Amino acid sequence: MKLALFDLDNTLLNGDSDFEWSQFLIHIGVLDRELFEVKNQTFYDQYKSGTLDIHEFLDFQLKPLSRHSRKTLNDWHAQFMRERILPMMTHASLNLVQQHRNAGDLCVIITATNSFVTAPIAREFGIEHLLATEPEHIAGEFTGRVEGVPCFREGKITRLNNWLAAQGRTLDSFENSTFYSDSHNDLPLLCLVKTPVAANPDEKLRAYAQQQDWPVINLR
């Protein structure tokens, strides 16, 4: 069996679901524009530059989840999917995922964005397995805190290895392992798999991929 790993934001999606979720909450009046829009942009710029403090960001990103019921959040998310996410799902991305599914590969989305935002997106792509940053919840309601290791940078390797170990597997168990990502933040995992692919890469990843003679593709 072969393993196909997909980053989500700016890789399978033509945009960033984390950033867009906050912008959506601002748009519908849940978050105050003056207080949150600048912070949201600042964190996004830090992510792109490689200077993001993941715990500081998660405090910003997860706290709003704790202020509303799960039912209300789910209703908002359904609207978010229709208005923001579906337009970001490209034919090229959908076709790529389908090619791996048709080949019988084990397909996994592995993303730093929290699982509340990303689980419905993974289902829309037809991908059963999701490794994402997990928001803590008690009795189904979010606490505003993160649970376990954030699925970010080296944390993606930790989360992937733990998930595989629970199945009695390792990366070496697979005939091939492929990881598609757009971001230099994913270099730790890209350097670990057998087939790293730079998909819609940022400037830092593009330069590194060209230096290493990795495939570079455009899914937009």
Is the pLDDT assigned to residue 118 strictly greater than 90? yes
* Between residues 60 and 208, the one the model is more confident about: 208
Of 9, 18, 186, 202, the active-site residue reads: 9
Give the 3-state secondary structure of 49-95: HCCCCHHHHHHHHHHHHHHCCHHHHHHHHHHHHHHHHHHHECHHHHH
Q: Is 186 labeled as catalytic in the residue annotation?
A: no
pTM value is 0.96
Q: What are the structural domains of the chain?
A: 2-217 (3.40.50.1000)
pLDDT tens-place string over residues 7-44: 999 999 999 999 999 999 999 999 999 889 999 999 99
pLDDT of residue 25: 96
pLDDT tens-place string over residues 65-86: 999 999 999 999 999 999 999 9
pLDDT of residue 62: 93
Of 7, 16, 105, 182, the active-site residue reads: 7
Q: Is 105 labeled as catalytic in the residue annotation?
A: no
